[in-house]
Amino acid sequence: MKHLLTTTAFLAFSASAALAQTVGFSQIGSESGWRAAETTLTKQQAEERGIDLKFSDAQQKQENQIAAIRSFIAQGVDAILLAPVVATGWDSVLEEAKEAEIPVVLLDRQVDSDKSLYLTAVGSDLVHEGEVAGKWLVDAVSGEECRVVELQGTTGSSPAIDRKTGFEKGIEGADNVEIVRSQTGDFTRAQGKEVMESFLQAENGGKDICALYAHNDDMAVGAIQAIKEAGLKPGEDILIVSIDAVPDIFQAMAAGEANATVELTPNMAGPAFDALDAYLTDGTEPEKFIQTESKLYTQDDDPAGEYERRKGLGY
């Protein structure tokens, strides 16, 4: 009996390992903490599944990524994960991979190439993230008047545009919730703090502000400091909702200084490996876009525990 179990376990293990033994992963680089966490989680996921992950850091350069993919093809990997640094210029190298019959899965960002050139793309819907944040706020204020200030991401960047659109969609129909001021905080703590200071000055020392919506957690963390220094209580006097779910916002939530965050999960590799497994086992073609969950975390979701779970991921 015991022998049978080990054999099955061994068979199961070797079967899954046989599907995708080596996977090449071309990462953009280490542009942000989120990116570092994505790398850590991809490596973890590969290890759990017994996959030999060949990791290549492109240092924010497309030519490095193309070179990495060519070397993956030459090494004859079973699949390639690609987090593309830009959207254009991938056609020829993706065709080379297709000719070598190596499936390519895009992580987090999209490319402008023909859809037949890659197996699938795993990513988050940025508009949906904003919508989740907006809906949370509408529920939280439950019909009361609410003047919202918004800290936008870098002007013109797609997360800034989409997260703004999504939030506006989320508060649509709720006439009591209104965005009164909106400025860019460049996705940084320092700018988030500076712009929040000016919002507080402009809105009667902050007394006229009911909530803050920040396009990322870092700006929210900066803004929380500005609110505290102005003598108000963040999380109570001014509700705070932001996006990303980085460790530091959970620390703020545990202290009652932030209210909600929408997760942009760095675990893009998990769904990617699942899709690859299904494809390599019986040829199941996945959808061309696999949307990751945009999970909402509030103060009730054990923020202190979430902080502990996340702080080692390299954010």
Partner 1 sequence: MNALRRVTPQLLTLAALVALVTVFFPDFLRIEVVNGRLVGTTMDILKRGAPVGLLAVGMTLVIATRGIDLSVGTTMAITGAVAAWSITQGYGLGGALGLALLAGVAAGLWNGTLVAIFGIQPIVATLILMTSGRGIAQLVTEGRILTFSHEGMAFFGSGDVLGIPAPALLWVLTAAGVAFLMRGSALGMLIEAVGVNRAASALAGVNATVLLIAVYVASGLCAALAGIVATADIRGADANNAGLWLELDAILAVVIGGNSLMGGRFSIAASLLGALIIQTIDTGILLAGFPSEYNLVIKAGLVLIILVLQSPNLSHHWYALRRAAQSRRETAMASAKETGQ
Residue pair 224/253 in contact (Cβ under 8 Å)? The answer is no
The answer to whether residue 155 forms part of the interface with partner 1 (CB under 8 A) is: yes
The answer to whether residue 30 forms part of the interface with partner 1 (CB under 8 A) is: yes
Q: Which of these ranges, 113-121, 181-189, 258-266, 276-284, lies near partner 1 under the rule CB under 8 A?
A: 181-189
Tell me the closest approach of the beta carbon of residue 27 to partner 1, in angstroms.
13
225, 254, 277, 296: which one binds partner 1 (CB under 8 A)? 225
**Axis crossing angle, helix 2-19 with helix 269-282, rounded to the nearest 10:** 100
Dihedral sign (CA 216, 217, 220, 225): negative
16, 22, 36, 138: which one binds partner 1 (CB under 8 A)? 36
15, 31, 60, 100: which one binds partner 1 (CB under 8 A)? 31
Show the CA angle centred on residue 254, arms to residues 147 and 182, nearest 5°.
25
Q: Give 30 or 110: the residue with its C-beta nearer to partner 1.
A: 30
Q: Give 42 or 113: the residue with its C-beta nearer to partner 1.
A: 42
The answer to whether residue 194 forms part of the interface with partner 1 (CB under 8 A) is: yes
The answer to whether residue 109 forms part of the interface with partner 1 (CB under 8 A) is: no
Q: Tally Cβ neighbours within 10 Å of residue 90.
A: 24
Q: Give 39 or 124: the residue with its C-beta nearer to partner 1.
A: 39
3-state secondary structure 201-266: HHCHHHCCCCEEEECCHHHHHHHHHHHHHCCCCECCCEEEEEEECCHHHHHHHHCCCCCEEEECCC
The answer to whether residue 290 forms part of the interface with partner 1 (CB under 8 A) is: no
The answer to whether residue 165 forms part of the interface with partner 1 (CB under 8 A) is: no
Laid out side by side, the sheet with 104-107 consists of 52-57, 22-27, 79-82, 104-107, 120-123, 289-291
Q: Which of 50, 55, 106, 73 is nearest to 286 (CA)?
A: 106
Q: Which of these ranges, 19-27, 47-55, 125-133, 184-192, lies near partner 1 under the rule CB under 8 A?
A: 184-192
User: Dihedral angle at the C-alpha atoms of 91, 97, 100, 105, nearest 10 degrees?
Assistant: -130
The answer to whether residue 256 forms part of the interface with partner 1 (CB under 8 A) is: no
Residue pair 186/153 in contact (Cβ under 8 Å)? The answer is yes
The answer to whether residue 64 forms part of the interface with partner 1 (CB under 8 A) is: no
Q: Give 16 or 182: the residue with its C-beta nearer to partner 1.
A: 182
201, 281, 284, 291: which one binds partner 1 (CB under 8 A)? 201
CA distance 123 to 269: 10
187, with CB counted inside 10 A (0-12, 13-18, 19+), is buried
Tell me the closest approach of the beta carbon of residue 82 to partner 1, in angstroms.
21
16, 21, 32, 40: which one binds partner 1 (CB under 8 A)? 32
Applying CB under 8 A, the residues found at the interface with partner 1 are 30-33, 36, 152, 155-156, 181-184, 186, 188-191, 193-195, 197-199, 201-202, 205, 218, 221-222, 225, 229-231, 248, 314-315
